[in-house]
Structures are given as C-alpha cells and as structure tokens.
Chains A and B, each alone.
Chain A
Amino acid sequence: MIPPMVPQPTRRRFLAGAATAAATGIASPQFLLLTTRPAAATPDSMRQAIKNVVGEARLQKGRVKLDIPALVESGNVVSLAVSVESPMTASDHVKAIHVFNERNPQPNVVGMRLGPRAGRATVSTRIRLADSQTVTAIAELSDGSFWSDSMQVIVTLPACLETL
C-alpha cells in the first residue's frame, strides 16, 4: 500500500492542534465549545446521589426490573420502565422509585412516589441519555429496604450536548 502524500486528519494531529491553540491563546469556536461543556456526572457523583436517597441502608440487588433498550439510536428519547415485585398492600408496598445515570450532566433522572393503592408497582417514562452508560433504578420499600437494578445502554446519538 502506498503511504498517503498529504497529511490525513488524525486524532493525534487534532489533539496537537488543539494543544497549540490553547497554548497560543487562539481558541477556535469548535475548541471553545469543547471547553465550555459542563462536567458530566461521573460514577462517583452517581454514587453520591444514590447515597443521598439510600442513606446508610443496604442497597440490595433484585426485586426491581429496569426495562430499557440495550442499544438506542437517539439519546433524546429513551423509553424506560421500572417494575418492582411487591404485593402493594398497606404493610408491604413500594414507596418510591428513583432512576440514576452515570454520565449525563446530572446523576438524577427522576424520582417517583407511589403508595399502596397503586395496585401495581410499574411506572414508565421517557428519558435522555448523553452517552453510553449504566442506568440504575432503585426502589424504596415500606419496610425501609432498598432494591436496585442496573442496565448498560449503548447510545449512538447522544442527547443534551447538541448545538442549535
């Protein structure tokens, strides 16, 4: 194979160019855009957000089923359903369902409160995902226990960060 004569735009060249621009103070609009992006929620901030809800209680796996597509084309609208195994009686019911994510600008997605008269602990909504990441649903039961389920989602077109 003949090596190309003209320099090809590679990731390495782009990064070198960006570094030069930063060093010399010449910021292209594109580079500015990269620097003004908000910091994404990291797994750490998700842990913190979960701790704010769960507190010192033990978070257990199971009983919750998070239904979300494993591969989504557009992160702008991702359908999500959470159902919890519960008899939904006055003495044993789901009090709240929380959804968290790792890599959106904020770790919280939605918090929902329900009660024994819901009859069935199933809710659904539509969310945004800024990147391929893990989504976690947590159910708070009336006996004070917390149960969770997580799903890995691959996003081809991320939400939130597009410009107009």
Chain B
Amino acid sequence: MARALVNVPANAKRGDIIEIKTLIQHEMESGFRVDNMGKVFPRDIITDFVCKYNGEEIFRAELFPAIAANPFFTFFTRATESGTIIFEWSGDNGFSATESRDITVE
C-alpha cells in the first residue's frame, strides 16, 4: 500500500473555502526511460485521482507520464457540511489507494 499524505483542515466555518493538499508515494515510471541495454522500462503510473466530499465529486485529475514522481495536488473546495472527504487514486497494474479525512463544519 502506497503511503499517502492528505492535508484537510479538521474544522471549518460553513461556506469557508478550504485548501486540500494531497501527496501519494508512487514511482510514476513514464514508460519512456531505457536502461543501458536499450530496453524500455514499462509504463507504471497513476492515471486517475478523484476526491469526493460526502459522496459528491469535487475534484478529478487525469494523470499522464509528465506528472512527477509522488503525485502532488492542491485544490480548493467550499466547506458545506460536516462529513468525510474521500481520496481515491488508481493506475496501471491495478494500482489503487484510498484515504479519507473527517471534517467538522460549524
């Protein structure tokens, strides 16, 4: 299981715009590198990242080999209600990782 770091404020006022930061451990082997025998390292990347706030999709990214190793994303959302924010990554060779954070909205 890949290590994922997610930063979500634990508390927020209703209507606040909050910043979410995510980082996940992954090589992101581009499929364009060759070893010294000329053999290509097969592609192994994360292709999709989805963030859901109480089941509603708030951010989605389609990743290409040009994303640096250990994909990092920051984005914003409006804190509407208390609940759970779920982060899902999926990619080549059946890669899948999930992380979640609870948020309290007053």
Contacts and interface: CB of A to CB of B under 8 A. Distances in A.
Interface in A127-143: 127-129
Given A117-B58, A123-B75, A36 B68 contact: no
Given A106-B64, A110-B62, A160-B30, A117 B36 contact: no
B38 A36 contact: yes
Contacts of A36: 34, 38, 40
A34 to B, nearest CB: 10
B77 A33 contact: no
A104 interface: yes
Contacts of A114: 58-59, 75
B63 A117 contact: no
Contacts of A113: 57, 59-61
Secondary structure at chain B's binding surface: helix, strand, loop or mixed? strand
7 contacts: A33-B34, A77-B69, A110-B67, A112-B59, A124-B73, A162-B33, A163-B35
A128 B65 CA distance: 8
B74 interface: yes
B13 interface: no
A161 B33 CA distance: 5
A38 interface: yes
The interface size bin for chain A is 35 or more
The interface size bin for chain B is 35 or more
Contact of B66 (A33, A110, A120, A124): A110
Contacts of A164: 33, 35-36, 41
B66 A104 contact: yes
B101 interface: no
Nearest to B18: A119
B76 interface: yes
B66 A109 contact: yes
B71 interface: yes
A126 interface: yes
Nearest to B16: A119
A122 B75 contact: yes
A163 B66 contact: no
Nearest to B66: A109
A19 interface: no
A108 interface: yes
Contacts of B67: 109-110, 125-128
Given A122-B75, A128-B30, A29 B61 contact: no
